[in-house]
């Protein structure tokens, strides 16, 4: 299934994409794409519905983040061997964890606003993992059983805030609008191998990132195992699993960063497409 949320910011309704690509309203069945809805039982209930019995949503409404009431937004840094190489970073011994503030989360096609004074805002297409079942001390052999599904994330980053200001990476990752998520949550039964997904990102029509989740240093299962031994993962938590090469920071001979008026377009095979125009806070 492809689950989504649509409508004005703060008033999104739950929906699903039917086999013909039409948006169907789920608000008469569930309150949101969140909580128990993300459990195996909750998803099985939705699978049992006939999409043609659900109201069809006309037009092209705004899409919100595909998960509501996200608890934790966990992010993994330097998790692609080819990305680590382009930045000159050493391969980490364990997954590098940082958190992105939930206030950064926006819809997949919402405008991305560079913060006041930013000159080093960068792009990062990433595979998002949505937890569906509470997990703590989970072994990697069972880790994927705790996943509700997968989605596209753009881990937008302000590199000076990230590395030039004293403190953790979270500063450069948590600016408002820096977490486009969606367009939809694709349930795990439709993603047989999360380590075999092609991904890309374009800026102003020019291909910047081309990669595959096959070059992850730590697999999705390994990440879930590691994090669940540090703290409990709850339904609705999102893990953004790192980016392939081609970020602006790694461009040669000089880094290339976003400017107001730029357009980012990105996607992952089977998980959908995002498009964001870039603006500047004043």
Tens of pLDDT, residue by residue over 215-248, are 999 999 999 999 999 999 999 999 999 999 999 9
What 3-state DSSP class applies to 213? helix
pLDDT of 167: 77
- For residues 178 and 107, is the Cβ–Cβ distance under 8 A? no
- Say whether both 77 and 49 belong to one domain: no
Q: Report if residue 175 sits inside a domain.
A: yes
- Cis omega before residue 62 (within 30°)? no
Strand-pair category, 105-106 with 179-180: parallel
115 and 179 in a single domain? The answer is: yes
| Mean pLDDT value of segment 205-216 | 97
Does a structural domain hold residue 68?
no
> Which candidate, 124, 94, 129, 91, places its Cα nearest to that of 220?
129
CATH number, domain with residue 206: 3.90.850.10
Task: Classify residue 58: in a domain, yes or no.
Answer: no
CA-closest candidate to residue 264, choices 207, 213, 216:
207
The predicted-structure confidence for 136-188, as pLDDT tens digits, reads as follows 999 999 999 999 999 999 999 999 988 888 778 889 999 999 999 999 999 99
Task: Please determine, for residue 67, whether its predicted confidence score (pLDDT) is greater than 80.
Answer: yes
If pLDDT is split at 50, 70 and 90, which confidence band does 87 have?
confident
- Given a cut of 80, whether residue 133 has pLDDT beyond it is yes
Q: Domain check: are 38 and 77 in the same one?
A: no
How many domains in the chain?
2
172 assigned to some structural domain: yes
Q: Please check whether residues 88 and 36 belong to one and the same domain.
A: no
Same domain? For 88 and 49 the reply is no
Q: Is 71 in contact with 100 (CB distance < 8 Å)? A: no
Q: First CA to last CA across the chain, in angstroms?
A: 41
Q: Cβ atoms within 10 A of the Cβ of 224, count?
A: 28
Same domain? For 131 and 13 the reply is: no
Strands 121-122 and 157-158, sheet pairing: antiparallel
Query: In the prediction, which pLDDT does 89 show?
Result: 76
pTM: 0.96
Cα(111)–Cα(278) distance, integer angstroms: 6
Domain that holds residue 16: 2-53
SS3 state at 102: helix
Q: Are residues 81 and 46 in the same domain?
A: no
Predicted confidence at residue 90, as pLDDT, reads 82
Q: Is the pLDDT of residue 86 over 80?
A: no
Q: Is residue 133 part of a domain?
A: yes
The answer on 78 and 46 residing in a single domain is no
Flag whether 67 is in a domain.
no
CA 159/CA 253 separation, integer angstroms:
17
Q: Is residue 64 part of a domain?
A: no
Within-domain flag for 214: yes
Residue 84, token pair as written in the block: 């680590």
Q: What is the pLDDT of residues 44-63, one digit of tens each?
A: 999 999 999 999 999 999 99
User: Within 10 A of 212 (CB to CB), how many other CB atoms are there?
Assistant: 17
């Amino acid at each position: 299934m492809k689950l989504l949320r649509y409508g004005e910011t703060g008033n999104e309704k739950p929906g699903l994409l039917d086999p013909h690509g039409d948006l169907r309203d789920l608000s008469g069945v569930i309150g949101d794409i969140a909580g128990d809805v993300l459990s195996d039982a909750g998803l099985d209930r939705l699978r049992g519905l006939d999409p043609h019995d659900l109201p069809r949503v006309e037009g092209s409404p705004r899409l919100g983040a595909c998960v509501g009431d996200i608890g934790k937004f966990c992010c993994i840094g330097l998790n692609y061997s080819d990305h680590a190489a382009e930045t000159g970073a050493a391969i980490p011994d364990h997954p590098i964890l940082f958190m992105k503030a939930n206030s950064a989360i926006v819809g997949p096609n919402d405008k991305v606003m560079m913060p006041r004074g930013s000159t080093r805002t960068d792009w990062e297409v990433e595979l998002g993992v949505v937890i569906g079942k509470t997990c703590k001390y989970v072994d990697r052999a069972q880790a994927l059983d705790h996943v509700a599904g997968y989605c596209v994330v753009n881990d937008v980053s302000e590199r000076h805030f990230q590395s030039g200001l004293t403190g953790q990476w979270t500063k450069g990752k948590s600016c408002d609008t820096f977490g486009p998520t969606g367009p939809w949550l694709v349930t795990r039964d439709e993603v047989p191998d999360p380590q075999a997904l092609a991904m890309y990102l374009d800026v102003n029509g020019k291909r910047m990132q081309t990669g595959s989740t096959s070059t992850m240093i730590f697999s999705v299962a390994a990440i879930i195992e590691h994090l669940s031994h540090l703290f409990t993962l709850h339904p609705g938590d999102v893990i953004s699993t790192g980016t392939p090469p081609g970020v602006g920071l790694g461009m040669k001979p000089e880094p290339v960063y976003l400017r107001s008026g730029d357009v980012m377009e990105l996607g992952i095979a089977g998980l959908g497409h995002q498009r964001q125009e870039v603006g500047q806070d004043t």
